[in-house]
Chain A
Amino acid sequence: MESSKVIHAFYNDDEIVLDAVKTVKAKGHHIEEVFCPFPVHGLDKAMGLAPTRLAITAFIYGITGLSFAIWMTNYMMIQNWPMDIGGKPSFSWAENMPAFVPIMFELTVFFAAHLMVITFYMRSRLWPFKDAENPDPRTTDDHFLMEIPVHNNEAEITALLATTGAVEINIVDKH
């Protein structure tokens, strides 16, 4: 089971880890993951991660919410049970639309916000009773952990990592 071995390199500074990621990438090694206690700006680009599309989903969800609000107000107030309130009859959605603007706005926000957050939780596998997957408890405190898979080149990678300022380098079996 050679291929399941990984190197865990620990760093204790955000600027050092960012430079280390760049160095390791420049040497052509694959970085499996970096666990961070807080967001490091530019790390995703340095690792070569694709930009997230969550904002696009939020836009689509918002449009869905708006459409739902238009359908709902039209169905309930105009089609299913039109009422004449204060001499202002509900026979046309377009003419009643100004009164529905608050509902349309709120449902747009409601759908966009909640469905985007649910998408985020599903994509990042976050939910109650989910076990944490950070390999070391220090990665939520002040340590950064870079995980690099090894293919019989432990010596080469550890030597490289040592020069990038890693404070601890472990070779472990990945389960």
Chain B
Amino acid sequence: MSHYEAPIREPLVLGDKSYHDITEDIAKPIEGTANKNWYIAFYISLAAMLWGFGCIFYTIGTGIGVWGLNKNIGWAWDITNFVWWVGIGHAGTLISAVLLLFRQKWRMAINRSAEAMTIFAVFQAGLFPIIHMGRPWNAYWVLPLPNQFGSLWVNFNSPLLWDVFAISTYLSVSLVFWWTGLLPDFAMIRDRAVKPFQKKIYALLSFGWSGRAKDWQRFEEVSLVLAGLATPLVLSVHTIVSMDFATSINPGWHSTIFPPYFVAGAIFSGFAMVQTLLGIMRKVTNLEDYITRIHVEYMNIVIIVTGGIVAVAYATEFFIAWYTGSPYENYTYLSVGAATGPYAWAFWSLIIFNIITPQLLWIKKFRRSFIITFIISIAINIGMWFERFDIIAIVLSKGHLPSTWWRFEPTFVDVGIFIGTIGFFFVLFLLYARTFPVIAQAEVKTILKSSGEFYKKRREQGIPTKPAIVIANDAGLNDKSNKE
């Protein structure tokens, strides 16, 4: 009974699938040609990406002055976008690492794409601090390299430098975790490939994976240890991002609640982005049998939990700000001042998109609906962007000296770079969806007998998962060796 699973659990793979059917289904989007919708989406994303690159070159060529920054607000959309993208990048490794440690089988249908999303999102995030440096060719100065400036080293006391270490570790570890999981799936594509060029490419990508019993033993051990290492890593990254704010002495930022609250928000927004992407992907790649209603529901439950933590954090911030009795606190991003001030629209966008809308997911019918999930996931993406914008722009717009109060207004360059990163992200994701095995097929095969609909039904009828042995007839025996 090695493949037993309680019958009450919903199947994770629908239909009468055999192992070979899984291979076919996962390989189909790669081996087929792209349809019109893919091209439309790709060209729109590409146009946005090129527009964004144009804005980046304009910024670098002219200077940061082309952004809407001013004396008070020295970083606005760039850091907002940076934190937003890093936050989105949190779901992938959470799904593949934390859910692996908890032995959640449903992660197997979504981990590959969630990790791809993570890596592509962290790329976008990394762009912003580098552009904001103004002189991106000096970006290597953030590394502790021996140098000729009087052996001046980086400052290890600075949370911005912690960010450099956290994000580069996160990106590179996520990348090898993703790639290691991809090896057997690339090997599967390689061994099916008919076109010689395709075979060569996938042979290269698969690193010569052969699937020996010893390789699999090591593969599983490496996956488990990487999951163990990546779990605290995921939590550390947004903790450190939050310290960019929390270690400063600005009211509204100087807050010990920031690390857990940022981590919860990151997982919240990351899962929302996974819902957005997979809601579309399961349709266009015909993988509805693998990314099912129950997967969507499980992710929605994570969204409710992390969204709840975020809501409690907002309430705490709001209450404590008021409870201090300090007049300065009335100008922080969660205060009566913010709710009624010039940034009231941003404040209420945050509340509506991030707190009120996700509560609809308490209703079972809604959290099992693909359409409603998709709409709510978009709302959360917007809400989480506003959270970061509020934290930065509202807090910085009103400092201790009222005569210096000033507001932030983005220029077309701010907007252009943001849209450009969204385009860049989708360009990468669309290319990925056409060339990579988007579901970890080797892993899905391991759960087919325990969680596949076909086998679950058979087990209820008392039929064992192990098929009856058919004794090979003479036709099955071939002597291919050289007779000597």
Query: Contact residues of A with B, CB < 8 Å?
Result: 1, 5, 12-16, 19, 33-44, 47, 49, 51-52, 54-55, 58, 62, 72-73, 76-77, 80-81, 83, 85, 88, 90, 96, 99-100, 102-103, 105-107, 109-110, 112-114, 116-117, 120-121, 123-134, 137-142, 154, 158, 161-173
Contact = CB atoms under 8 A, between A and B. Distances in A.
B232 A109 contact: yes
Contacts of A129: 204, 208
Given A105-B236, A132-B190, A172-B481, A110 B220 contact: no
B477 interface: yes
Interface stretch (B44-52, B128-136, B172-180, B322-330): B172-180
Interface string B174-194: 001100100110011011100
B478 A49 contact: no
A13 B467 contact: yes
A100 B162 CA distance: 9
A114 B19 CA distance: 32
Interface in B322-372: none
Interface string B469-484: 1111000111111101
10 contacts: A37-B211, A38-B443, A38-B446, A49-B217, A62-B229, A76-B144, A77-B156, A132-B191, A134-B210, A142-B23
Interface of B is mostly: helix
Interface string B9-28: 00000000011100100000
B153 A120 contact: no
Contacts of B3: 15
Nearest to B208: A130
Q: Which of the four size classes fits the interface of chain B?
A: 35 or more
A134 B470 CA distance: 25
B255 interface: no
B210 A114 contact: no
A128 to B, nearest CB: 6
A41 B185 CA distance: 19
B264 interface: no
Interface of B: 2-3, 18-20, 23, 144, 150-157, 159, 161-162, 165-166, 169, 172-173, 176-177, 180, 183-184, 187-188, 190-192, 203-204, 206-222, 224-226, 229-230, 232-233, 236, 240, 243, 442-443, 445-446, 449, 465-467, 469-472, 476-482, 484
A51 B213 CA distance: 12
A151 B353 CA distance: 72
Given A99-B157, A114-B173, A171-B481, A164 B211 contact: no
Contacts of B155: 77, 83, 85
Closest 10 CB pairs of A and B: A130-B208, A137-B191, A165-B469, A142-B19, A15-B466, A76-B153, A126-B207, A102-B162, A134-B210, A39-B216
Nearest to B467: A13
B472 to A, nearest CB: 5
Contact of A167 (B211, B213, B236, B476): B476
A43 to B, nearest CB: 5
A99 B224 CA distance: 30
B23 A128 contact: no
